[in-house]
DNA sequence: GTAAAACTTGACGTTGACGTCAAAGGCAAA
DNA sequence: TTTGCCTTTGACGTCAACGTCAAGTTTTAC
């Protein structure tokens, strides 16, 4: 398929697809006239790329990981980097969840100002005593 | 306390603190000579700000939320915005977790190429049948 | 009293993942 | 063949949360 169809199906812009190619994380065949052609698998590949971006990985990191995805193999050093990124994601999930709890608390207080049962302030950490 | 101490205690740069003030999300008293002075509570406030940044909120959004944190009250419209952000965070946690699972799978395959028991490819969504 | 450390404002630089033209060429339908 | 959409490369623009440098002032330490 050509770039426009891939863009629609993967729900990204054509600009993004060209950018991915520029960054070495998405390849394409070229017709004699120079137009890009992609296989069906490119749709899933682009979705994977988007997911990794959403997980906070940069282009370089993704570029270094994708070959392992295809080879289903990696050197120990690479495995370590994978684990490190995995840990980063875990930490970042925890941060997000805590921010979520804080927002929940705020919503509860803000929406139902009369019913406040929880004595904890939003400015204080309810589970740690060390200011 | 002055800006340097707050920066150390909240683990951000002084530049960041001045930036927050510029964005209207952190206030300070000024000594006659113009130096900023912060109360103890500023440490927690900065941590809250950082958490909201980490949760993907921008300065404007944070600026609009903080007054509610202090007032412990918000107009219905604001409560809706809070809920919307909360939903965004929930979605983003789910995304992160899925990326995490994909990385786990990749690590498993890459680190122990002999033991592959799982037939699912990393390019395919194991829980959805619609390619 | 003096030197070092901390502080001030101002302003330009950085980074990443694209957006947005612009000018030109490619391709299927009528 | 013409119409009209699709695609190409190139290059500048954007936005946010700061980093960094400059040049001057204030506070602290000795």
For residue B114, the model assigns a pLDDT of 65
Task: Note the Cα A51 to chain centre separation in Å.
Answer: 4
Tokens of B102: 């994909």
User: Is any atom of strand C within 7 angstroms of residue A51's beta carbon?
Assistant: no
Could you give the percent of chain A with pLDDT greater than 70?
85
Q: What is the pLDDT of residue A130?
A: 38
The DSSP call for residue B2 is: -
Q: How many CA atoms lie within 13 A of A13 on its CB side?
A: 3
What pLDDT does residue B131 have?
27
Q: What is the model's pLDDT at position A124?
A: 47
Using a pLDDT cut of 90, give the percent of chain A over it.
Answer: 78
- Closest C1' nucleotide to B52's CA: D17
Transcribe B20-71 into DSSP letters: HHHTTS---EE-TTS-EE--THHHHHHHHHHHHHHTT--HHHHHHHHHHHHH
> Can you give the pLDDT at residue A115?
57
Q: Which nucleotides of C are covered by protein (CB under 7 A)?
A: 6-9, 16-20, 25-27
Nearest CA in chain A to B73: A110
Contact assignment for A110 to B73 by CB distance below 8 Å: yes
pLDDT tens across A74-114, in order?
999 999 999 999 999 999 999 999 999 999 999 998 888 66
Residue B10 has a pLDDT of 96
Return the number of other C-beta atoms located less than 10 Å from residue A78's C-beta.
17
Pull the structure tokens for residue B72: 């412990």
Tell me what the mean pLDDT of segment A56-60 comes to: 94
Q: What is the pLDDT along chain B (131 residues), one digit of tens a residue?
A: 999 999 999 999 999 999 999 999 999 999 999 999 999 999 999 999 999 999 999 999 999 999 999 998 899 999 999 999 999 999 999 999 999 999 999 999 888 866 555 555 455 444 443 32
Measured CA A61 to C1' C15 distance, in angstroms: 15
Residue B120, pLDDT score: 52
């Amino acid at each position: 398929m050509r770039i426009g169809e891939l863009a629609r199906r993967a729900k990204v812009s054509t600009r993004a697809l060209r950018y991915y190619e520029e960054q070495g994380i998405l390849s394409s065949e070229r017709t004699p006239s120079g137009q890009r052609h992609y296989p069906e698998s490119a749709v899933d590949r682009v979705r994977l790329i988007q997911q990794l971006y959403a997980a906070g990985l940069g282009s370089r990191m993704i570029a270094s990981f994708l070959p392992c995805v295809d080879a289903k193999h990696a050197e120990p050093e690479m495995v370590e980097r994978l684990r490190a990124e995995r840990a980063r994601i875990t930490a970042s999930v925890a941060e997000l969840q805590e921010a979520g709890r804080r927002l929940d608390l705020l919503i509860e207080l803000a929406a139902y100002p009369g019913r406040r049962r929880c004595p904890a302030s939003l400015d204080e950490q309810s589970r740690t005593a060390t200011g």
